[in-house]
Structure 1
Amino acid sequence: MTRTVDDVKIGSLLRVWRKLRGISQLELALRADSSARHISFVETGRSTPSSTMVLHLAEHLDVPVRERNSLLMAAGYAPSYPETSLASPEMTTLRAGLDQLLTAYEPFPALVMDGMYDVVTANKGVGMLLDGVSGHLLQPPLNAMRLTLHPQGLAPRIRNLGEWRAHLLERMDRQAALRSSDALRGLYEEVASYPAPAGDTHTGPDGRTDEPGPAAHPYALPLRIEAGGQVLSFISTATTFNTPMDVTVSELAVETFLPADPETAAVLRAAA
């Protein structure tokens, strides 16, 4: 069921998301159990989808929850997903669960970030890595990307800075494209402008080198960082919520750092 309108804004937005995902009208129609003709009518403004159809198309286009609200409003409907502050009483159970998760992971580092990589909360394991970081980078909101790649942050102590920097920039670039986020793109451009190690990608800004090649990390790229006079090695994982129904929750990610070798695990346990 559709209604004809003159406003083509919703169609234009859906077309942008479809092209961003690199799929044709026919492919989207097949995914959404619709027709290419109907998708074409929606995109050209000849018809406007129902709110249910907007959300259905958004799901098959993998549109982020925040932008699904924008699509609904462009089509003349009210937003479907609330955006609740983590400080609100409704989030008490969620906050308690996250704190319990981070505490249980100690002494290994773990933190929670929002969609702009601002740190929402972190455990004591993260504190061990922050020694020597410039105070201005630790002022709230503490941004994980700035903290890691800034020359006054962790960067001087990351032994494989070239590799780790490339990994983080690729991750941010992908997220900015998936979310079509100007703010995230701006953050990417900022941290990408920070000084990069010259020459060997395994050489840090202090001139010290790490062991290059796949043999150093056979199953995943590690973060190798000096802390407490020793080189620690971590494998990172990022966890998000399944089927989030709130904008805030949809953009949260739990980042954990698993020791990549027995020596790192022993150092962290001893320090704890």
Structure 2
Amino acid sequence: MTTAAPAAFGSPTATAPTAKGIGPLLRSWRERRRVSQLELALRADSSARHISFVETGRSRPSEDLILRLADHLDVPVRERNALLLAAGYAPRFPETPLDDPALSGLRAGLDQLLQGYEPYPAVVVDATYQVVAANRGIAMLLEGVPEWLLAPPLNSMRLTLHPEGLAPRIRNLPEWRGHLLDQMRRQIALDRSDALRDLYEEVAAYPFADGQDSSEGADQPVSAPAVPFALPLRIEHDGRVLSFVSSISTFNTPMDVTVAELAIETFVPADPATVTYLRALGT
């Protein structure tokens, strides 16, 4: 990989079962997705009565039913293991360290993808935005960032929003910061993750690079972007302002917790000047 895998991938960690059992856990996911018992039953080829019995602890669901319900509720792979454990079953999905030989093909594919995207920036992060791999386009944007912020494990949110990181170079920082914090809030609302919540509280408390208090602008509406189709990241590099829009990709139907939590973010040049500048750097 272009960047060393963070310590979080050093060894697999099992998701601990909840002491409350599967009923409250399943009900929590159903309510979070705003799905009624009847609607969920119809989707999963069950009955509202049986779903009710499972949620109240009067019935123990089969492994197959748990996985069907989790699929229709779009429960993250890590949390599907938690549902199985809460019902007394073994976890179904492994959490393979990214440096395990079994994932060598995946690592090679990610490296090829990142290198093929150069000279434009691209990065791979995990569920808490730890940087797993990055290409030379990302390295170019990080030029001049203090060494202590670049020490492993790198975190893309911390690098972007810290006042000693990229924040002073981002020309539309209030809008881009608001976009990133909103993205994290949506993720926290959908996934149970104390680590992600801790990260959010950390980066949301950072002061703006220009001295503006971090509470100002946190929930301000995003102004109309200069790019008509998406909010751009406008960032300064070597006296020039580069403009990008970002795209995030994940793996389809993953069967491993580690793979399920990877995301590939690519930065698409938003204007011809950025394209010309990056291609000149790449020659």
Normalised by the length of structure 1, the TM-score is: 0.90
Extract structure 1 runs of 4+ deviating beyond 2 A. Answer: 196-199, 212-215
- How large is the RMSD of aligned CA atoms in angstroms? 1.6
Q: Within 1, Cα distance between the matches of 2:204 and 2:43?
A: 36
**Paired amino acid for 1:142:** L
Structure 1 residue aligned with 2:182: 170
Deviation at 1:78, TM superposition (A): 0.7
Structure 1 residue aligned with 2:6: none
Tell me if 1:66 matches 2:81. Answer: no
In structure 2, which of residues 243, 259, 266 is the aligned counterpart of residue 233 of structure 1?
243
Structure 2 residue aligned with 1:13: 25
Structure 1 residue aligned with 2:269: 259
Alignment length (residue pairs): 255
What fraction of aligned residue pairs are identical, expressed as a percent?
A: 67
In structure 2, which of residues 169, 172, 186 is the aligned counterpart of residue 157 of structure 1?
169
In structure 1, which of residues 104, 108, 120 is the aligned counterpart of residue 132 of structure 2?
120
Structure 2 residue aligned with 1:246: 256
User: Residue 58 and residue 213 in structure 1: after superposition, are their counterparts in 2 closer, same or farther (change >3 A)?
Assistant: closer
Deviation at 1:33, TM superposition (A): 2.0
Deviation at 1:214, TM superposition (A): 3.0
**Paired amino acid for 1:47:** S
Q: Within 2, Cα distance between the matches of 1:246 and 1:10?
A: 21
Does the 8 A contact of 2:225 with 2:231 survive in 1? no
Does the 8 A contact of 1:159 with 1:224 survive in 2? yes
**After superposition, where does 1:27-176 map in structure 2 within 5 Å?**
27-176=39-188
Normalised by the length of structure 2, the TM-score is: 0.87
Does the 8 A contact of 2:82 with 2:91 survive in 1? yes
Q: Within 1, Cα distance between the matches of 2:139 and 2:195?
A: 27
Partner SS, residue 141 of structure 2: coil
Q: Within 2, Cα distance between the matches of 1:151 and 1:172?
A: 19
Q: Within 2, Cα distance between the matches of 1:58 and 1:119?
A: 28
Deviation at 1:215, TM superposition (A): 5.9
Does the 8 A contact of 2:225 with 2:232 survive in 1? no
User: Residue 195 and residue 215 in structure 1: after superposition, are their counterparts in 2 closer, same or farther (change >3 A)?
Assistant: closer
Q: Within 2, Cα distance between the matches of 1:130 and 1:26?
A: 51
Deviation at 1:25, TM superposition (A): 1.4
CA-to-partner distance for each residue in 1:155-185, whole Å, 9 max, x for gaps? 0000000110011011111111211212111
Structure 2 residue aligned with 1:207: none
Q: Within 2, Cα distance between the matches of 1:144 and 1:21?
A: 28
Q: Within 1, Cα distance between the matches of 2:194 and 2:225?
A: 38
Tell me if 1:192 matches 2:196. Answer: no
**After superposition, where does 1:184-223 map in structure 2 within 5 Å?**
184-196=196-208, 198=212, 214=224, 216-223=226-233
Partner SS, residue 214 of structure 1: coil
* Structure 2: gaps (5+ residues): 1-18
CA-to-partner distance for each residue in 1:1-55, whole Å, 9 max, x for gaps? xxxxxx9611111011111112221221122222111110000000010001011
**Paired amino acid for 1:228:** D
Q: Within 2, Cα distance between the matches of 1:125 and 1:73?
A: 42
More deviation, 221-230/25-34: 25-34
Partner SS, residue 96 of structure 1: helix
**Paired amino acid for 1:189:** E
